[in-house]
A and B are shown apart, each in its own frame.
Chain A
Amino acid sequence: MTLSILLVVSAALFCIGLLAALSRRHAIFILIGIEMMLAAANLNFIAFWRFAPQPAQPTGMMVAIFAIAIAAAEAAVGLAMVIAVYRHFRTTNVDRLDRLKG
């Protein structure tokens, strides 16, 4: 289990998150995609902390913790917005939510 393999895995996770965000039409899945990307980032942090020459300060972990907290807040607000948008537009299909068109 070398670092590069771990990074590849997290990259894969990141890309799957990107895939979810880009290809799914449902608003919530964009949020899910974003959560995945954030999780992948956390994974990287922990991985780098783990593979750093010891004794490493657990900053990676601290950053991960805070990242998780913030991601949770973001998820909460995001979902609230989705609900608000749904209530207003009666749809969560992202294609139809293009009122900000140029």
Chain B
Amino acid sequence: MSDSLDQIFIHAKQWLLSFISGRAPDWLIQIASSLINIATLLGVFLTLFALISVLERKILGRMQNRYGPNRVGPFGLFQPVADGIKMLIKEDIVPDRADKIVHFLAPVLIAATAILSLGVIPYGRNMTPFVIDGGILFFFAVGSTTELAVFMAGWGSNNKFSMLGAMRAIAQMISYELPLIITVLPVVMIVGSLNPDKIVGAQAAYSLGFMPHWFVFTPWGATAFILFFVSGLVESNRTPFDVPEGESEIVAGHMTEYSGFKYATFFMAEYIGMFAISGLGITLFLGGWRAPVHFLDFIPSYVWFFVKLSILLFVYIWLRGTLPRTRVDQIMNFAWKFMLPMAFTCVVAAAVWHYTGRGLRGWLWSLAVIAAVYFTLSILLDTRRKFAPRTYRFAE
């Protein structure tokens, strides 16, 4: 029963396709199946987007000891509908001497890339929308085009603030793209393939019944996941690193000149980017749609995926609620001086772990390597930057 429940969506799709499978040529069938995938994907994640946008405000509220939006619908659940309608009916202002085409294309491109990156994540047992041999690479390739889109947004609106915001965003995203990819490297190295399904497959086994072989439980896996999660935060311009559209400084960064539906798409793209990054994180480190314990296997795979996803999202929102915004140069330094070396050590630690027999001994050895590098780095970075005495500068 669990299997049929697990594969319910797949069967549904097969059922739909059966209508046209007989009559149409095969490329039409292919297109149809990919269309179905896309449709379900959009449906699921757009509703999730709406839900999360409200939940985020309610959770933040609760964190700040206040209620979130609770006026619209029961417990404020219809708030996204209200927001959506608000966005739609707002006038779409385009700056006069802005670069019309670029201005218009920017939001489209951002949304497209975000959605594209969703396509390769395995949501459940053989529920990966597009199975590409170099799935992970596809994810990052598409991810990297967001910078161009952000730039187009910044440039198209012909506004100094937006331009500056775009610059900052791009700088930030480029410098964190490197650690992001290098943390993924150990996983791919251990699994030996760029295909997400194979990666999830590699985390299938359980040791002693209740210990799943997720990579996050290996020393290098843990550090890699943390680094991956932080880079993910930066990639999606989330809270601690949401400098580009830091309200207090440069209005809305590259999105200042956008209003109405274009702004909505930017907003949506941001959330979908967040979903994609966390989805990938889950696939790589948290065993994808695998159950944490063996005996909970009966629950369908996609349920586990979304449970893990919601946990990660909560962490996102949690972070947004608590951490202050970091300065741009601190972000940069942090990336190049701490994240990159640590990422490389994860690769080394993974190698050590692998060659010392993947057992406890390997575990300990890789932990030692990581600990050693961590401490030297902290000493190195720390000594040179004692906390500068607080200097007060008053406006003249």
Indicate if A touches B (C-beta under 8 A).
Answer: no
- Interface positions of A (Cβ within 8 A of B): none
- Interface positions of B (Cβ within 8 A of A): none
